[in-house]
Amino acid sequence: MTRPKGKPRKSGRFEFTRWAIHPALLFTVVLFVLPLAMMVVVSFWQRVYGRLSATWSTANYSKFFGTEYLLDTLFNSIEVTVVTTIVSILLAYPLAYILAYKVSPRWQKLILIFAVLPFWTAYVVRSYSWLLVISENGIVNYVLLNLGLIDQPLQMAYTRGATILGFVHFFTMLLTLTIYANLVQIKPSYQKAAEDLGASRLQVFFRITLPLSIPGVAVGAFITFVIAIGDFITPQILGGSTEVLVPQAIILQVSRAANFPMASVMSITLMLVIVLVYALTAKHQKMDRV
Amino acid sequence: MNWLRHFPSTAYLVIALSFIYLPVVVLVLFSFQDGALPVFPFTGPSLQWYEKMFGNERLVESLLNSIVVAVLSSLVTTVLGFLAAYGMARRTPRFAGGIRFLLMAPLTVSYLIIGMGLLITFNLIGIPKSLFAVGLGHVIINLPLCFAVIYSQFGDHLRNIEWAARDLGANDTQTLLRVIAPIMKPSLLASFCLSVTLSWDEFIIAFLLSRFDVTLPVIIFEMLRAGLTPEVNAAGTMVFAISMLTIGVGVIFMFVVAREKK
């Protein structure tokens, strides 16, 4: 091989297509890689009398992991996110299954689009609209009071349950989409073969359909986890200030105390949790199958 | 007794769809409320809250800000994504795998963390909080998706047309702008619409990186401090309607793309 290393110059003229990829790369490096690197740097700096001081130490990390109320935000976040993910899967799986197997093909796409349309409802407004349903004078309390089932309005808004409700509503739609996309790719011949060999309908489901649909569940669950654990709006609007999750704690550090080092520590911790979850679930998420 | 056999499935479908649509219906319904509280009993319909909303200067201003940020940032994103997709598909660079990974990486990081990183960086290098900063943030969160959507359309079926253009004497730049770009129009428009929708709806980056001029989601968040009011319902209904419209247009372009592929 005697080909020269660089691309042969066709003409002396400038061809900007040669640099087609570079603007996007420049943007990604300057607006993504550099900021993340800066965040790591700042997490080792100190805040002295309200100003950033480039004194290197791990003090912020030991403060975060050593202070109970700060560390609790991490445990709260993980608990809420895990419960959200599990409940969303349990609700979304039957929906995706019914769409894929019980609804005639003509209607499948239409109902699916209909079922995930509110996914695009304005994000801030979506949480707010749940307040209309569950707040003290909201619809649920109105109905229950008028039916005489309760004497006092139930306190549903501004609790952990409300946060989870808002999340589950959102992610059920997302998971329905990923699970459905996986289910319709399973070849019907597998299920037929199992039936011919004498498997009952339950056996077909548990030994054929369910295992083959795990990638769709895993991908959806991972996206759910990533978005939910980094979400500020839903816990802020629906959960109120009864308990603080990490994103709320980060915003508090920034807006109240202008404590960028501590906010960076929390952000990096969140990222590490996400990386860890990815590492644990990666082998189940065969993206190409979804 | 066919319907009996289907009953559990149908029931689940109806319940699930009701759950999904309950808050949306309540939101829209009570934006037409004729009273001070967006809760039962419904006394309407009335358009008074829409009137109030459009009389709210700060809200109208933020609506325009949102449109400007969404359109401009999406234009930049689509152009960057298109060029990068072309470069990746036709002038496959060295370390192509690594570059693709880098371009897609922002997708795997929470908006909150990207926003925090930008806030810290802009703070250190002295870019003030502004709509410009918000726009930059929106470019970086939407770039991976635009790149992926457009890159997926650079199939080999295009190669013959490109070679034909070159045989007829077009140079690379001419081929890109006068042959490839027009053919790619549906996917360019689809990725533009996708990007507009996401930017239009984005809260946390806009919240962190703006100060005096803000976008609509930030204003709505501020309005929530006043508690439940039908005005927020009206604003929310409008945001929802515009999202639906953009998504609808985007989906139509996607269908055009899918049909042309066949």
Q: Which domains does chain B have, with CATH numbers?
A: 43-261 (1.10.3720.10)
Which band of pLDDT confidence, cut at 50, 70 and 90, is reported for residue A273?
very high
A54 vs A44, residue with greater confidence: A44
Q: How far apart are CA A263 and CA A269, in angstroms?
A: 10
For A106, other C-beta atoms within 10 Å of its C-beta total 7
C-alpha A245/C-alpha A231 separation (Å) is 9
Which residues on neighbouring strands pair with residue A53, listed in sequence order? A46
Region A79-97: mean pLDDT is 94
Q: Please tell me the predicted confidence (pLDDT) of residue A5.
A: 44
Q: Rounded to an integer, what is the distance from CA B106 to the centroid of its chain?
A: 15
- pLDDT for residue B97 is more than 80: yes
3-class DSSP assignment, residue B73: helix
**Is the Cβ pair B120, A38 closer than 8 Å?**
yes
Taking the C-alpha atoms of residue A251 and residue B204, their distance in angstroms, rounded to an integer, is 10
Helical (H) or strand (E) element with A145: helix A139-146
Contact residues, chain B, for A167 at CB < 8 Å = none
Mean of pLDDT values over B167-178: 82
Q: Could B243 and A22 be called an inter-chain contact, meaning their C-beta atoms sit closer than 8 Å? A: no
For residues A91 and A132, which has the higher predicted lDDT (pLDDT)?
A: A91
Q: Read off the pLDDT of each residue in A12-40 and give the average, rounded to a whole number.
A: 85
Closest-CA residue to B178 (of B192, B193, B164, B194): B164
Selection from B132, B73, B120, B135 nearest residue A34 by Cα: B120
**In contact, A103 and A96? CB cutoff 8 Å:** no
Max avg pLDDT among B10-14, B55-59, B142-146: B142-146
Q: Is pLDDT at A287 greater than 80 in this prediction?
A: no
Arithmetic mean of pLDDT, B202-229: 89
Closest C-alpha among B138, B127, B149 to residue B77:
B138
pLDDT band, very low/low/confident/very high, at A286 (cuts 50, 70, 90): low
B106 secondary structure, DSSP code: G
Mean pLDDT, all residues of chain A: 84
Task: Please give the residue of chain B at the shortest CA–CA distance from A259.
Answer: B120
Tokens of B137: 């943030």
Distance between CA atoms of A130 and A139, rounded to whole angstroms? Answer: 10
CB B118 within 8 A of CB B209: yes
pLDDT at A9 over 80: no
**Residue B43 near residue B34, CB atoms below 8 Å:** yes
**pLDDT single digits (tens) A223-244:** 899 899 999 999 999 988 778 9
CB contacts of A274 in chain B (<8 Å) are: 108-110
What is the nearest CA distance from B55 to chain A, expressed in angstroms? Answer: 20
CA distance B88 to chain A (A): 7
Q: With contact defined as beta carbons under 8 Å apart, do A119 and A173 qualify?
A: yes
A262 near B CB under 8 A: no
Q: Which helix (H) or strand (E) holds A52?
A: strand A51-53
Q: Which residues pair with residue A52 across a beta bridge?
A: A47
Q: How confident is the model at residue B258 (pLDDT cuts 50, 70, 90)?
A: low
Rounded to whole angstroms, how far apart are CA atoms B234 and A172? 26
Output the CATH code of domain A64-289: 1.10.3720.10
Mean pLDDT of the region B160-183: 83
For the segment B70-82, what is each residue's pLDDT rounded down to a tens digit? Answer: 999 999 999 999 9
Euclidean distance between the first and the last CA atom of chain A, given in angstroms as a whole number: 41
C-alpha to C-alpha distances, B125 to A30, A38, A180, B121, B122, nearest whole angstrom: 12, 11, 46, 6, 5
What confidence category does residue A2 fall into, taking pLDDT thresholds of 50, 70 and 90? Answer: very low
Q: What are phi and psi of A231, to 5 degrees?
A: -90, 130
Least Cα separation, residue A66 to chain B (angstroms) = 22
CB contact under 8 A, A270 and B110: yes
Q: What percent of chain B has pLDDT over 70?
A: 94
Residue B10 CB: number of other CB atoms within 10 A?
13
Query: Residue holding tokens 């998706």?
Result: B145
Among A64-68, A112-116, A245-249, B232-236, the least confident range: A112-116
- Mean pLDDT of the region A259-283: 89
Contact B24 A95 (CB under 8 A): no
Q: Is A243 on the interface with B (CB under 8 A)?
A: no
Q: How far is B146 from chain A (nearest CA, A)?
A: 11
Annotate B96-134 with b (16+ C-beta within 10 A) or e (fewer).
Answer: eeebbebbbebeebbbbbbbbbbbbbbbeeeeebebbbb
Quote the minimal CA–CA distance from B106 to chain A in Å: 7
ipTM over 0.90: no
Tell me A47's DSSP state.
E
Q: Is the pLDDT of residue A82 over 80?
A: yes
Residues B95-114, mean pLDDT to the nearest whole number: 89
8 Å CB contact of A21 and B91: yes
Which contiguous run of DSSP H or E holds residue A48? strand A46-48
DSSP string for residues in A86-139: HHHHHHHHHHHHHHHHTS-HHHHHHHHHHHHGGGGS-HHHHHHHHHHHHSTTSH
More confident: B90 or B125: B125
Please tell me which of the candidates A24, A130, A278 has its beta carbon nearest to residue B147: A24
What average pLDDT score do residues A26-33 get? Answer: 94
The letter for the amino acid at B177 is: L
Chosen for mutation from B32, B90, B114, B116 (greatest number of chain A CBs closer than 10 Å) is: B116
**pLDDT for A280:** 84
pLDDT at B141 over 80: yes
Mean pLDDT of A158-168: 91
pLDDT greater than 80 at residue B6? no
Query: Which among A16, A28, A103 has the least Cβ separation from residue B106?
Result: A28
Checking if the pLDDT of B246 tops 70, the result is: yes
Instruction: Identify the residue among B10, B14, B19, B27 best suited for mutation to test binding to A, counting A beta carbons within 10 A and taking the highest.
Output: B27
